[in-house]
Chains A and B, each alone.
Chain A
């Protein structure tokens, strides 16, 4: 059921905001000024300069009965009316007996007899939080920065309360923190320059048709990673085009966060270097952020337990992508020496394909909605003579329809990819050069792999 409808709502700095919010959790992500103004409008505290707003069919600014059923935590939270917190809440709630349960709900029971005038701004917001949750028969609870600038309220408790509230009303959290927006586990609406620029209707685990979380993974060993990912139940499908974009995988997950973690974990386990992990569509905030979070987590993990430098083929995600994220000096990815053994027997793709039921000899039928064709080694043309061996921790890859492998020139720039269609032509392989040997000249050291600005976003 649609609870909130705004049409061309304007109030500086907002410009013509049109939204429809239903029962459930909704994050509004934008600057403080934008989100504060929007919460003021949603709660009827301020009147729009232009446009209309309806909460349960009525204008909250003009209808006191609607406002009575709206819980709010405002940017400019006014001081409490009363000498003590108890007196103030009695005044606000109109019932002295409701004070203790209201405060206890957020673990603020000990504040009841505190001097209201001596509360810090953060504590004041904590009390306002409690009052917002105590709204009787709420139809909308709109909170500005519920997890920031607030003292005494546990994040976990608050999230649990909001989850419970969202069962029967519309919960809106306005924030400038991507982390907080995602923590709500609801839809995310992104505001910029006073306008809605993105509306992520898909919830993690509750994806709308056609809006599955698609990731773009850039790796020099895309085929191996694809094969490994196919084994994971968290991955719905993998797309790889060895001819036009041999270093790019498009991965579809069932849940953004889980899929991102799976990609990173799989890359780690398979010792496949990942140059970048982004959302296939950069406007998908949830996917983008899940990607960044997974990379950051990998980086942290690598910091705590660095992979042995002498052990080729382990933990080469962190030395490449993670070190680049941290802005560290270039680190060579550990690479196994060229194998003299048979390639087919140890090729992960081949293994993966052969492990999948119903796999044709030249094409892999992928689970999920993305169809993909991965050239089978035996069906592919032979590698041109004289081409360099790919620096892979795994055995040398099977020859594919990808262009001939060349010596490294420069490290690729792992900028966010708008999608598989806009992938630039394949670049010389490998993206990350082999680890220099004592005999290697200094110039053979790899270029630093720099992250995109998005990768550095502070989450």
Chain B
């Protein structure tokens, strides 16, 4: 168990812990900062909310998640992505947990940083509410990043070469903006709720947070269920 988990984590880190990831993350930070600055110039009072809902969590975080999951799976299906360790006797389940866990941690860190930069630029460093918003936004970025890692991990377990990633991203995009039961399985819907948008099924923000965490685990469990040991 431990060996498989560590092997999967090491495998995941060997694929995402690269200069390329750093470059992409830097570009994304610059992009969201520019959007946040533009929003601030348009309407300073709602700039942070609009930048977070739109550019940061609506666009940058899902795309970054897509990129990282594609990198960590080496453009293969999820069970084949751990071939390097599974062929030598590691359990695929533990290896996948290590792999998806690694990308979830990385994505949480990047999501938190994206949210923090967005809020800092949109609010301005002199805003007295900056620190509180920074903390909350970073926490939401962490939750959202982990949830997207799970969702795209599940998507990567579908299709010959993990093409389900694209489908899961598209479904999140189109269905996650609603407020009906159709929007409930998608991270976007609950992230929007937490950012102050209309809630899904009228759920309170506390419930949305719990659902977001639960969705992350559920996605991974489903991905494992689709994979042999």
The segment from A29-37, A61-69, A144-152 that touches chain B is A61-69
Task: Decide: B87 and A43 in contact? CB cutoff 8 A.
Answer: yes
The reply to whether A81 and B10 contact each other, CB–CB distance below 8 Å, is yes
Q: A45-B83, A61-B228, A64-B229 are in contact. Are A92 and B88 (CB under 8 A)?
A: yes
| Contact flag A81-B89 (CB < 8 Å), given A62-B229, A64-B4 | no
Q: Judge whether B146 is part of the interface by a CB distance below 8 angstroms.
A: no
Question: In the complex, which residues of chain B have a beta carbon less than 8 angstroms from the beta carbon of A65?
Answer: 89
Instruction: Evaluate whether A68 and B89 lie within 8 angstroms (CB atoms) in the complex, with A61-B228, A78-B83, A94-B3 already known.
Output: yes
Within 8 A of A (CB), among B1-48: 3-4, 7, 10-11, 14
**Of A61, A67, A74, A82, which contacts B89 at CB under 8 A?**
A67
Number of interface residues of A (CB under 8 A): 22
Residue from A43, A62, A78 in contact with B228 in the complex, judged by beta carbons closer than 8 Å:
A62
For residue A72, CB closer than 8 A to chain B, the reply is yes
Counting CB contacts under 8 A, is B149 at the interface? no
Question: Are B91 and A81 closer than 8 Å at their CB atoms?
Answer: no
State whether the Cβ of B56 lies closer than 8 Å to any Cβ in chain A. Answer: no
Q: Is B90 an interface residue (CB 8 A)?
A: yes
A92 CA to B83 CA, complexed, in Å: 11
Given A45-B83, A63-B229, check contact A82 B14 (CB 8 Å): yes
Q: In the complex, are the beta carbons of A64 and B14 less than 8 A apart? A: no
Q: How far is the CA of A68 from the CA of B95 in the complex (A)?
A: 14
Question: Which residue of chain B lies nearest to A76 when distances are taken between CB atoms in the complex?
Answer: B83
| Interface pair A64/B89, CB less than 8 Å apart | yes
Q: Is the interface of B mostly helix, strand, loop or mixed?
A: helix
Interface status of A430 (Cβ within 8 A of chain B):
no
Q: In chain B, residues 81-117, which have Cβ atoms closer than 8 Å to a Cβ of chain A?
A: 83-92
Give A43-91 interface residues, CB cut-off 8 Å to B.
Answer: 43-45, 47, 61-65, 67-70, 72, 74, 78, 81-82, 91
Which residue of B has the minimal Cβ distance to A128? B87
Alpha-carbon distance between A64 and B90 when the two chains are bound, in angstroms: 6
Distance (whole angstroms) from the CB of B45 to the closest CB of chain A = 50
- CB contact under 8 A between A68 and B88, given known A45-B83, A91-B10: yes
Judged by DSSP, the binding face of A is loop
Closest CB in chain B relative to A49 CB, distance in Å: 12
In the complex, the answer to whether A72 meets B84 with C-beta atoms within 8 Å is no
- Asked whether B83 lies within 8 Å of A64 as measured between CB atoms, the reply is no
Q: How many residues of B contact A (CB 8 A)?
A: 20
Tell me if B229 and A81 are in contact (CB < 8 A).
no
Give bound CA distance, A61 to B92, whole Å. Answer: 10
- Nearest B residue to A93, CB-CB: B88
Question: Which residue on A lies nearest to B90, using beta carbons?
Answer: A64
Q: Nearest Cβ in chain B — how far from A194, in angstroms?
A: 19
Q: A65 to B84, alpha carbons, bound, how many Å?
A: 15
Q: Whose C-beta in chain B lies nearest to the C-beta of A44?
A: B87
* Measured CA separation A402–B7 after assembly (Å): 75
Report how far A65 CA is from B1 CA in the complex, Å: 12
Q: Chain B, 212-229, contact with A by CB distance < 8 Å: what is the 0/1 string?
A: 000000000000000011
List B contacts of A62 (CB < 8 A): 228-229
The contact of B87 among A45, A63, A82, A94, by CB within 8 Å, is A45
Q: A334 → chain B, closest Cβ, in Å? A: 60
Q: Which residues of chain B have C-beta atoms less than 8 A from A63's C-beta? A: 229
User: Cα distance A135–B3 when bound, in Å?
Assistant: 17
Q: Which residues of A contact B229 (CB under 8 A)?
A: 62-64
State A68–B11 Cα separation when bound (angstroms): 18
Which chain A residues border B10 with CB–CB below 8 Å? 81, 91
Docked CA distance A230–B101 (Å) = 73
A134: nearest residue on chain B (CB-CB)? B88
B228 touching A47, Cβ below 8 Å: yes
Interface centre among B80, B85, B89 (most CB of A within 10 A): B89
How long is the Cα–Cα vector from A63 to B228 in the complex, in angstroms?
9
> Contacts A47-B228, A61-B228, A62-B229 hold; do A81 and B11 have CB atoms under 8 A apart?
yes
* Interface 1/0 per residue, B58-100 and A, CB below 8 Å: 0000000000000000100000100111111111100000000
**Residue among B11, B86, B87, B89 facing the most chain A CB atoms (10 A cut-off):** B87
Interface string of B191-229 (1 = CB under 8 A from A): 000000000000000000000000000000000000011
Listed from nearest, the 7 A-B pairs whose CB atoms lie closest are A68-B89, A64-B91, A62-B228, A67-B89, A81-B14, A64-B89, A78-B84
- Which residues of B pack against A, CB within 8 Å? 3-4, 7, 10-11, 14, 74, 80, 83-92, 228-229
Q: Kindly list 17 other residue pairs between chains A and B, CB separation below 8 angstroms, not including A64-B86, A64-B89, A67-B86.
A: A44-B87, A45-B86, A64-B91, A64-B92, A64-B229, A67-B87, A67-B88, A67-B89, A69-B89, A72-B87, A78-B74, A78-B83, A81-B84, A81-B85, A92-B84, A92-B88, A131-B88
Residues on A lying within 8 angstroms of B by beta carbon are 43-45, 47, 61-65, 67-70, 72, 74, 78, 81-82, 91-92, 94, 131
